[in-house]
Amino acid sequence: MRYFELFSIPVSFTVDLTLINERYLELQRAAHPDRHSGGSERDKLVAVQKTAEINDALQTLKHPVKRAEYMLAELGVDLRGEQQTLQDPEFLMQQMELREELEELQSASDPDTAIAEFEKHIAALDKQYSNELATLLASDDSAQWHKAADDVRKLKFVYKLRDELERIEDELFD
């Protein structure tokens, strides 16, 4: 099933989340199992399966990393569930520095300011990799798709940093 086609939106890394949510509600209204309660067991089962597919599509299209992975898989570059690491020494060094910076947040003299600065830094990285992904995924060149795969790997790291930051904030301020 093609998620973009299901939601009647253009295939693009950059999506309109409001439109996706509107289409989701329309699709769910049409496919909801309650609408088929008087039908055969097969009709009910198909409705349940269709609803599950719509939910999967929504979760994929709404989340940037999942959306990029899905788009790459459709292009023949499947990253889902892979264990491959990046071979980019500059990024690996940046990753180590960010991890150190993250660890130092807990002992910062002004944790609020340090956290705000760190959030700005990772937001900038998120924007950078997302903008690159949008361009690379729009390409017809498979070499560009493999570069996009590396950006997805980098974006995953940014999301992990965000999760760690939330955990640290919870520890510091709860």
Return the domain boundaries, the chain. 3-62, 89-173
Q: pLDDT (tens digit, 9 = 90+) per residue, 5-55?
A: 999 999 999 999 999 999 999 999 988 777 767 778 887 788 889 999 999
pLDDT, residue 35, reads: 74
Architecture of the domain defined by 89-173: Up-down Bundle (1.20)
pTM: 0.86
The CATH architecture to which 3-62 belongs is Orthogonal Bundle (1.10)
pLDDT exceeds cutoff 90 at 72: yes
| The predicted structure's pLDDT at residue 40 | 81
Q: How distant, in Å, are the alpha carbons of 50, 54, 59, 105 from that of 6? A: 11, 8, 13, 44
Kindly state the average pLDDT of the residues 106-125: 93
Given a cut of 70, is residue 86 above it in pLDDT? Answer: yes
Give the helix ranges, DSSP H, for 105-141.
111-137
Spatial separation of the C-alpha atoms in residues 156 and 174, rounded to whole Å: 27
Residue 21 tokens, joined: 């949510």
pLDDT beyond 90 at 167: yes
Residue type, 51: T
3-state secondary structure of 11: coil
Do the two domains 3-62 and 89-173 of this chain adopt the same fold? no
CA separation for the pair 91, 27 (Å, rounded): 41
> 4 with 50: CB under 8 angstroms?
no
Indicate the pLDDT class of residue 85, thresholds 50, 70 and 90: low
